[in-house]
Amino acid sequence: MISYKQLKIHLLTLAFLPLSLSASAENGSRLWLPANANANAQVSADKKNPAIAIAVQELQRHWKNVAPVKLVIASAKKAGNLGSDGFAISGNINAGVSITALTGQGLLYGAYHLLRLQATGALTENISVTEIPKYQVRILNHWDNLDRSVERGYAGRSLWEWEKLPGEISPRYEEYARANASIGINGSVLNNVNANPQILTGEYLRKVKAIADVFRPYGLKVYLSVNFASPKTLGGLPDADPLNGEVAKWWSAKVKEIYALIPDFGGFLVKANSEGQSGPQDYGRTHADGANMLADALKPYKGIVMWRAFVYNPTPEDRAKQAYSEFVPFDGQLRDNVIIQIKNGPVDFQPREPFSPLFGALQRTQEMVEFQITQEYLGFSNHLVYLAPLFKETLGSDTYANGQGSTVAKITDGTLRPAKVTAIAGVANTGDSASWCGHHFAQANWYAFGRLAWNHELTSEQIADEWLKMTFTSDENFVKPAKELMLASREACVDYMMPLGLHHIFSFNAHYGPQPWGYFPDGRPDWMPVYYHRADAAGVGFDRTAAGSNAVAQYFSPLREQLSDVATCDERLLLWFHHVAWTHKLKSGRTLWDELCYRYDSGVREVRNMQKAWDRLEPYVDAERFADVQAKLQVQAKDAVWWKDACLLYFQTFSKLPIPYDVERPVHRLDDLYKVFFTQDDVLKNNYCIK
């Protein structure tokens, strides 16, 4: 564990960090953090610990008001229900400001919040702010591998330089911890959910310890994804059966070893019996058996198990139903330090999905939502897609599980159902690229996840406003149009990719670009786009009503009935739940076919509007970032046309209907698009070719 004296070394690094970044700040490496400054503010603290030392340092260097700032550790009696991370800020910016918290971590979050108010012009003369996070665990999931490749990562190699650890510590570890602390993220799963068992060897645990030591002063706990078969592959046991006493003993010993090195270790993330990963079902056991065994090993150390509900194995059942079918039978059977981690939608991080029906269905089980910040199905780091609206859409969805108003947010944050552990996760989009995320605007999605994890009542507009002012400039001539661009981007993406509830019609190989015709005889049906859109001469869409897969039965009334009826189903999800005739009239008065044509065309036009809006902002942005974003928008505009042409020309082979004349004519031939093949690396190098 890092000592107060050792922290001075870290603070020296921090003190010089912005100076080293300032020369190249235009490359995006600064993120939304305060620019280099030395305000020499008057800051005092009544206690000393590593987190408080960082809070003092940040305020001394960046608080620009003349009023002194006092950091106070209060008793529980005086501070009320702030908890370990909450804080209160009060005072007058001309006379003096106090930040009060129960812990040093709370004071650090308070310091960053005060600096955020200053940077965004939100300070008032008299301040009275109390902030308590909505979720206890606010965590990033890294899909980083030990060879430094990143599964579904589009920003270079992994941040973690395993080959150099523990002896050599990259300065980016502290920059990363600082960025997360500034938005309230307090946990990081370092490795891929498709976990390599080697992460649990003594060699790698010492490397993990080195990272944890850097993170600790910022309140960022380390977690690990674990391979369920580790007792067999590492420990030499004949099996990994969770009901085998020797297996349980192996895990208990391994957990003890971890906590001896990392006393504040957070716990395990587990992907089991999904996509070929080992799990308790290999031995005829249940997810509950596996999760409880690990939970028992972690319990003495207050560690948690985040058990993923992404179960994706070959089955004749509708893939959208699998998680519900497998987990609802175990409701109430899990330990109180187990939390089921559920993707926001029932399939797989699509541009738009209904919320997973598991939310609310697990009445006696702790649940957490998993979002994907990295844009696996949203144009990688090539497309500007601001994800706060997607996150908000899920969190605000009403499950009706406890009557009207039972939103996903209230189900998971402990409001409606008291929980020992509340949590929210985001699959990280960071890499070793200079801009961290591969696209300057992709940083906003990391920022938005952290802010919503802290307070899911913030609006997408508020978060965009903050991020733009802190990252670029507070000039309203820039902020207003840039914010409008961001807020329009997600709906534009849905329109040019998969409007009206279409889903999973991506290129099979790379998950980038359209391939609605995709079908491979040797592949599983639920890997294929044709499985999801089911286009034929009669219409298009997946029938999930009682006449089809009956996935609607997994939702509570009255939502179940609303979704079951074409007339009342949210048209944004129409083709998710219904196979609809090409000539069916929608609320717009258009037929389904014409509406699809207009939606695809609208998406293309909106991306072009985004290009024009960005070009007008050139006077307000440094040359390097302006050019980078402009180039990415050019790729996005080209891709949007590709999507429109591929989908409309392909679906037209079934509908046999003309594309309306006021919709832009296709510029590609379908036969040529059938021949397009590329890998993820081709996309990242911009080597893919659309003839």
How far apart, in whole angstroms, are the C-alpha atoms of residue 548 and residue 188?
Answer: 41
418: left (phi over 0), alpha (psi -120 to 50) or beta: beta
Q: What percent of the chain has pLDDT over 90?
A: 89
DSSP 99-127: EEESSHHHHHHHHHHHHHHHHTT---SEE
Classify domain 137-460 by CATH architecture.
Alpha-Beta Barrel (3.20)
Question: Six-digit token pair at 671?
Answer: 């036969």
The 10s digit of each residue's pLDDT in 460-469 is 999 999 999 9
| pLDDT on residue 165 | 98
What CATH code is assigned to 494-542+579-684?
A: 3.90.1330.10
Give 626-677 pLDDT, tens digit per residue. Answer: 999 999 999 999 999 999 999 999 999 999 999 999 999 999 999 999 998 8
pLDDT in tens, 575-595: 999 999 999 999 999 999 999
Structural contact between residues 595 and 500, judged by C-beta atoms closer than 8 angstroms: yes
Dump pLDDT digits (tens) for 191-241. Answer: 999 999 999 999 999 999 999 999 999 999 999 999 999 999 999 999 999
Tell me 222's DSSP state.
E
Residues 544/551, Cβ–Cβ less than 8 Å: yes
**3-class SS of residue 307:** strand
Average pLDDT over every residue of 540-553: 98
Could you list the active site residues?
A: 275, 348, 376
Q: Which two tokens stand for residue 473?
A: 């400039």
pLDDT bracket for residue 2 (50, 70, 90): very low
Q: Would you state the pLDDT for residue 9?
A: 41
CA–CA separation, 129 vs 118, rounded Å?
13
Span 37-131 CATH architecture? 2-Layer Sandwich (3.30)
User: What pLDDT digit, counting tens, does each position of 327-350 carry?
Assistant: 999 999 999 999 999 999 999 999
Same-fold call for 37-131 versus 137-460: no
Annotated domain spans of the chain: 37-131, 137-460, 494-542+579-684
